[in-house]
Amino acid sequence: MSEPATHDAVFIGWGKGNKTLAAFLAARGESVLMIEQSDLMYGGTCINIGCVPTKALVESANHPSTAGSPSVRYTDAIERKDALTALLRGKNYTMVDSHDTATVITGRARFVGKRELEVTAGGETISVRGDKVFIGTGSVPMLPPIPGLDGPRVVTSTELIDRTELPPRLVVVGAGSIGLELATTYASFGSTVTVVDAVPDLLPSMDRDVADLVASVLADSGIEVILGASVDEISDTGSAAVVHLTTSATAGSKTQTVEADLVLAALGRRAATDGLGLDAAGVAVTEKGAIVVDDRLRTTADGVWAIGDVNGGPQFTYVSLDDFRIVRDQLVADGTRTTRDRRAVPTTTFITPPLAHVGLTEKEARGEGYDIKVASKRVDTIAAMPRARIVGDTRGIIKVIVDAATDLVLGATVFCVDSQEIINLVALAMRHDVTATELRDTIYTHPSSTEALNEVLTI
């Protein structure tokens, strides 16, 4: 094999942080090589199989564009989702490839030395080297060794949202964000949905008043939730999948079965490091397989960084984008930004209505010894939030935890229409020490969901 072609920067994987940094460095004139194993993944997980397509399905489920049977509505939604991801995939490809100093290779990369890789593309293998190497291969679904989990009617989220036929009966194994989002989406399309999880309580990290309200909304949507249930096996009858469960109870455990046309395995995701040859590069991984990084996202190999899900941090595309900022700061600025600078990072689970959270819950704040004030109101009781009635969804709750000594917001949980937007404002206030009183007395547009804070924070 000939001498490796050397680039200023080599990127493995097209995730949010990687593609943004690749475009940034290429725009500065650096020689950039982007390696992505599939032309269907230009742009990364979020664009193609994660945030964007799943939220497009949520929107279609809640606001059908055409009348007709559930199967027709679902087929229309899949076509809309596919068109959107294809559009964004093309834009993301151009984002990198349009630069004169950037090269894109569709192939599989494997380290063979320090910052040196072999790339297999089609039937050809080439050798490349980077002065800097950035690993951004993302994550893949976790599939524990449950008998039958590899059966013909068991799918991951990637496979589920690619199917063009609506499953009449769907069992979701896992009541985390991915499981609940897809459960509510497919229930809205018309599937009969059952969610099973080994945890004894739904949303165990949330305060019980919020979790109980979410549970009631799921039940009203026709979703059955079975908790404290371990999956022993998934068998196949030829016409259906049968999920065998053991549920624990105060009176002792019992077994039961649930039949489904499809079973969604939504049991979390792990770092995608298989086949990368990290040992050859001197890149260490954790016990869970994530790449070991310091607070500046540097790996144990000099000149190699890990960005996004693959480094074991929070699995959010916006965190991957912040990873880009941290690495960029090292390359072109003073290098002082670290992961320790992150404060009040919000999350949203896109059930209907969406469930958003930032900071401490009431239980956590009390456990940490804070003297707190709790501002909490059911959405259907908030007079200052007519938007909820305008859009026809008054379900949910807005709950803000305030430090009684300083009037600063310690955390908030927002379960209502537009919560994914409200939570960003609260998080910004937390990062900049804006008091609860100032949030309460700020002028907001009308009618908006944000103006609910004018009333909720009157405590």
Q: How confident is the model at residue 8 (pLDDT cuts 50, 70, 90)?
A: very high
Q: Which residues are the active-site residues?
A: 446
pLDDT mean over 64-91? 88
Q: pLDDT tens digits for 231-267?
A: 999 999 999 999 999 998 765 789 999 999 999 999 9
Structural domains of the chain, with CATH: 5-141+269-341 (3.50.50.60), 154-265 (3.50.50.60), 347-456 (3.30.390.30)
Q: pLDDT tens digits for 51-75?
A: 999 999 999 998 866 567 888 899 9
Tell me, what's the pLDDT at 213?
98
Integer Cα distance of 48 and 88 in angstroms: 8
- Is 408 in contact with 435 (CB distance < 8 Å)? yes
Integer Cα distance of 189 and 80 in angstroms: 15
Tell me, what's the pLDDT at 20?
98
Tell me, what's the pLDDT at 240?
96
- Our measurement of the distance from residue 402's CA atom to the centroid of its chain's CA atoms, rounded to an integer in Å, reads 27
% of the chain at pLDDT higher than 70: 98
- Is 57 in contact with 85 (CB distance < 8 Å)? no
Burial of 1 (0-12, 13-18, 19+ CB in 10 A): exposed
Tell me, what's the pLDDT at 67?
60
Q: What is the 3-state secondary structure (H, E, C) of 149-174?
A: CCCCCEECHHHHCCCCCCCCEEEEEC
- Is 402 in contact with 386 (CB distance < 8 Å)? no
Tell me, what's the pLDDT at 92?
95
pLDDT mean over 25-41? 97
pLDDT mean over 340-369? 97
Integer Cα distance of 134 and 139 in angstroms: 15
Tell me, what's the pLDDT at 251?
57
Tell me, what's the pLDDT at 447?
97
Tell me, what's the pLDDT at 70?
82
Answer yes or no: is pLDDT of 45 > 80.
Answer: yes
pLDDT mean over 77-103? 96
Report field, pTM of the whole predicted structure over 0.85: yes
Q: pLDDT tens digits for 262-271?
A: 999 999 999 9
- In the structure encoding, which two tokens stand for residue 262, read together? 């499809």
